[in-house]
Structure 1
Amino acid sequence: MYDLKDDRWIKNANELKATRKKIILTFDDGPSRNLEAILDILKEKDVPAIFFWQSKLLYKERPWQRVLDEGHVIGAHSLKHKNLVNLNYEEQYKQINKSVEQIEEITNNKVTYFRPPFGQYNEDTMTILHELGLTPIMWDISSYDWVNKDTPEKIVCNVVNHISEGSIILLHELEQTVSILPTLIDQVREKGYELTLLQ
């Protein structure tokens, strides 16, 4: 279960390094058909992001090279997006390790970050991440973009009204997220924040 008080997970960039007026955008559940549109916006706005991918959705024809070339980071989000707390140790290990292996095999790029599906984890998860040398990354601000398909303006409010120094923002590769992303970036910057990566 996602525990905001569990300090083993990075939920805010200030936990890594002082990041005055900086926040991080993260996108879960890709790579999807909306990835190119997201990348176009990020490129136009000159914003880096972290993408947490299900490895079952990644194949060589996906624009993964563009993601890396344009300065973004790819993290693992499990093999098939199963709730890890419902799996035994061996099944969890497979979901996590296979996702890392598949992403690294296709991209030839080392994966260092992991985020569990649904933000759910247990002690087995933590043991496996430690064994595999993965840095666990959560978030401290959820956009709730997946529940605001018909009211995308709420996505912007959910983020902009709650950000603070070092916030890690949870977004998804969804159509409604694409539609509000330029506005979201602009409003974050209007509040004096820089969009960056974890250091």
Structure 2
Amino acid sequence: MQKDQLLNRRRALITGAAVLGAAGTAGVLVTSGGETPARPAVPAAGAQARRALRPSAYRLQPLTGYGPPRTAPARTLVRRAPILRVPGRGRTMVLTFDDGPDPRYTPQVLDTLAHYDVRAMFFVCGEMAVRNKDLLARMADEGHVVGNHTWSHPLLTRLSRAQIRSQMTRTSEVIEDAYGERPQWFRAPYGAWNRAVFQIGAELGMEPLAWTVDSRDWTTPGTRTIVGRIEKGAAPGVVVLSHDAGGDRSQSVGALRRYLPQLLDSGYHVSVPRRRLM
């Protein structure tokens, strides 16, 4: 009996030593409760002793080998002329409104667009936007695109580079705060462009968009005249220029209510441009 007990204890010791050796080779040892891992045994000194390998850094970070390679964001192309038309399938047009937002007229424009489930572009001036941030928030909620139209609507070709940058940067900051993201489009007041305007706009991540059809609604020629100009100029890819601020824009609002349903009934798709297509 005593001899059997001694043999069993010896087998247990041998088995335990084998388990410890295997765990030391694997570099990990788990306690019987399975809760806290113990440190691996330090190998004995001698010719065969090797330093324990530290876990590789990649084991502590998520693997990224299966994802697309990381690349620096592409810079916006510095153009020599503004974009006048937009590509697209079928009879696609873009409606744009400048100089706002104006609490007297912009809500009426937005109401009409919402009624027909149409998206448009609004090129806002910073000094107007900062006083009407709620309208920019509404534009964001309803899927419209907000572009940069400078802070105070100056003739940019008469300003220094520092002044041009200030006009654009301040406006982009207000748009980002109220709209939720920085603008990707800009439009020079009066359509006055030069190399500095294109360069600074590109550095701020914006594309220059002009227009194809000028409604000249700012001259207040009458609702019927505005409607006629837009319907006459309607064609696939055109960009229409109108205004929702900068003066009495009641004619502009009235014209929109008339020509928008007519364009839709004629088969035109009124939408907003996408940068990747430009």
- The runs of at least 4 consecutive aligned structure 1 residues that moved more than 4 Å come to none
Query: C-alpha separation between the residues in 2 aligned to 1:150 and 1:11?
Result: 24
Higher radius of gyration, 1 or 2: 2
Query: C-alpha separation between the residues in 2 aligned to 1:151 and 1:84?
Result: 30
TM-fit CA distance, 1:63: 2.0
TM-fit CA distance, 1:104: 1.0
TM-score when scaled to structure 1? 0.90
2:174 corresponds to which residue? 102
1:183 corresponds to which residue? 258
Q: Secondary structure at the match of 2:165?
A: helix
2:137 corresponds to which residue? 65
Instruction: Give 1:165's match in structure 2, choosing from 229, 236, 246.
Output: 236
Alignment of 1:24 with 2:94, yes or no, is yes
What do residues 85-120 of structure 1 show as CA deviations (whole Å, max 9, x unaligned)? 111111111111111112112332221110111111
Query: C-alpha separation between the residues in 2 aligned to 1:133 and 1:153?
Result: 38
Considering only aligned residues, what root-mean-square deviation do their CA atoms show, in Å?
Answer: 1.5
Q: Compared with structure 1, are the counterparts of its residues 99 and 20 closer, same or farther at alpha carbon in structure 2 (3 Å cutoff)?
A: same
Query: C-alpha separation between the residues in 1 aligned to 2:262 and 2:255?
Result: 11
The answer on whether the counterparts of 2:101 and 2:132 sit within 8 Å (CA) in structure 1 is: no
The answer on whether the counterparts of 1:25 and 1:169 sit within 8 Å (CA) in structure 2 is: yes
Instruction: Give 1:117's match in structure 2, choosing from 172, 180, 189.
Output: 189
Gaps of 5+ in 1: 1-5
TM-fit CA distance, 1:190: 3.2
Query: C-alpha separation between the residues in 1 aligned to 2:159 and 2:225?
Result: 34
Query: C-alpha separation between the residues in 2 aligned to 1:155 and 1:181?
Result: 9
Instruction: Give 2:215's match in structure 1, choosing from 143, 146, 165.
Output: 143
The answer on whether the counterparts of 1:31 and 1:62 sit within 8 Å (CA) in structure 2 is: no
1:86 corresponds to which residue? 158
Identity of aligned residues (%): 30
What do residues 139-172 of structure 1 show as CA deviations (whole Å, max 9, x unaligned)? 111111111x252111011111112111110010
Give, as a single letter, the amino acid of the residue that structure 1 aligns with 2:256: L
Instruction: Give 1:39's match in structure 2, choosing from 110, 113, 127.
Output: 110
What do residues 40-95 of structure 1 show as CA deviations (whole Å, max 9, x unaligned)? 11111111100000011113553222111111111110010001011111111111
Give, as a single letter, the amino acid of the residue that structure 2 aligns with 1:48: R
The answer on whether the counterparts of 2:96 and 2:123 sit within 8 Å (CA) in structure 1 is: yes
